[in-house]
Amino acid sequence: MDDIARFAAAGTLTSGAIPPYAPALEPLTAAEIRSVAAIVKADPAFGEAILFETIELMDPPKSAILSGVPASSLPRQARANVFRVEEQGVWKLTVSLDDKRVLSSQRFPSARPMIQLEQFMAIEAYVKADPRFIAACAGRGITDMSKVCVDPWSAGNFGNPDEEGRHLSHTFIWLRLYDDEAFYAHPVEGLNAVVDIKTGEVIRVDDRPGPAIPMREVNYDSKFLTDTLPPLKPLNVVQPEGVSFALDGHHITWDRWAFTIGFNARESITLHDIRFDGRPIVNRASLVEMVVPYGSPENGHYRKNVFDIGEYGLGKLANSLKLGCDCLGAIQYLDVNLNTMSGEVFTIEKAICIHEEDSGILWKHWDFRTERTQVRRGRKLVVSCICTVGNYEYAQYWYFDQNGEIEFEMKATGIINTVGCEPGQPSKYEREVSPGVAGQIHQHIFCARLDMAIDGEGNTVLECNTQTEVAALNPWGNAFFETETPLATETEACRRANLATARYWKVINPNKTNLVGRPVAYKLMPTNCVNSFLVPTGPSGSRSRFVENHLWVTAHAPEERYPAGEFMNHSDGSGGITDFVSQDRPLENTSVVLWHVFGLHHSVRPEDFPVQPCIRTGFKLMPTGFFDGNPAISVAETINTESRDAGAASSSCCC
């Protein structure tokens, strides 16, 4: 039986084989991006002056992928969001690369596009040229505008009459004393400007009283540091026989794992058709939103509730990674191609890092009767990228383990958003990190969209809780057990984590059973949930409704992509997850999507300055009856002959 026939019979693929549809999941090439732009500009409805927010692949239908339809039978289509300078609104387009035409167009008249990478420095220039801003700086003793740094934040939606009908950025200000100096040590408190991004007009300069600019230098650049520690001895990761994974375009196979790596300007990394030993687990996985609410109502800081994915686009801010620094060991990189506003292509070289890591002991047992030991070391495949959003770095890591686990980890580093305070007198909303410099309490709340496919599309989500047995059945006081409750509809599946009941959620395929007759399943481990402190009816809380639960489950719908809505700049809270679940569609034995909300609660420390050490959050997907036993039992027994006993006189191997 060939692979396509095996798909039709069982929905599985021989481990290591390249699926026939894999080319259809490849991200758009540079040539395809240019082609989409040309097709749109040639359409009389848009013309040469049209500007592009995003151009990305339109994913093939989920059912086609799971049934193994070859790429040659699938249309090659793209999504494009476009806008004009002279009018408000965004158009969502579907473009056929095969037929060279726009297939569909929908205008959203009140929508604003994401703030584009090309606009960052333009916003700074608009502000620094404004006479009111120059005068406000002069009032603080700043006369050299080249030393002023203006960060372009999204403006939110606060009902200000002079802001309605505009595409805005609300800015925060710092002072850089000289080239490469750490300017976040010098916040210019109380001074903000609001900019119309499209016209370049500074519509308002907010000049409030504030403390003196702190002038103490707190540098981190190696060119300024004179008291660095001596380096540790080298620790090299060497694979003398090469890597164990194989890339065919963007399709990767490693051990028994296989999937396709995608990338776009908004989400950054997307993973498609994730399979273990040929069996489907997840159709599509990505990080689809991140909101960063700050806790201070003072000055202009109440506006800091930024959606880093929906208002900027994480993918456009990806770093070009450096071998031996960002990525250690035997590395394979993927470049990414994205669009500019004009429809040209810009390429981020080495944006995606792929490598293997030792993951420690995979499993071990010592039989005390026979004194025989069996131990296996584990390895994991890592797919990662690092994106810089203004002051913060977000390093994303997808891990694939030999025991069938999938883990997502986010490492947050970079520089805290600093504010000015009177030395020794920070407000209750902040902590002083250097004399006169404070960091405000805030959160980073993420949402992952997991389009599940546990051995196919017929899936059901169960909520699992542990409880103590009732007294009548618990004479010794030790009895406890786990319950499973199906989440039958979308309104039933709006759930929060519960540490008291060790709650988790399990996705089963009720149509397929394992060796012991139970439905095959994977469970979502909500290991890093946070509670939002936003008032749900407030200007920021109403735009961030997805943070109200830790799990949302929806019926699969290709156009339901973002939990806070598609157009986040100046959004009003509509078009997101609460609208999706209000349909209350049935969820049992059907195609389901998990929306998992997790994050970081950041009470700032002095140790977070001048650059914050990595802090971590994430989640796991763990097989729970998906296999008939431990899938890692069959991992080969190996001994690493390069390991040495550092305290022994000889340099022989430890085994």
Catalytic residues: 308, 392
Calculate the CA 534 to chain-centre distance.
21
Q: Which residue has the tokens 């994430």?
A: 618
- Coil vs helix vs strand at 579: helix
- Beta strand pairing call for 592-602 and 551-555: antiparallel
DSSP 271-288: EEEEEETTEEEEEEEEEE
Query: Which has the closest alpha carbon to 580: 626, 540, 549, 534?
Result: 549
- 10 Å CB burial of residue 134 (0-12, 13-18, 19+) is middle
Token pair, residue 631, equals 């899938």
Alpha-carbon gap, residue 137 to 134, rounded angstroms? 5
Please report which helix (H) or strand (E) contains residue 480, including its range: strand 480-486
Of residues 113, 198, 205, the one with CA closest to residue 150 = 205
Burial class (CB in 10 A: 0-12, 13-18, 19+), 203: middle
Q: Tokens at residue 373, please?
A: 């030991």
Q: Which helix (H) or strand (E) holds 461?
A: strand 460-468
If one counts every other C-beta atom within 10 angstroms of the C-beta of residue 319, the result is 16
Nearest to 307 by CA among 121, 611, 608, 565: 565
List 181's β-bridge partners, or say none: none
Strand order in the sheet with 148-154: 148-154, 168-175, 191-196, 202-207
Task: Note the residue count of the chain.
Answer: 655
Can you tell me the distance from the alpha carbon of 14 to that of 279, in angstroms, rounded to the nearest whole number? 9
Q: Are 67 and 8 in contact (CB under 8 A)?
A: yes
Distances (CA, A) of 438 to 150, 211, 419: 18, 12, 5
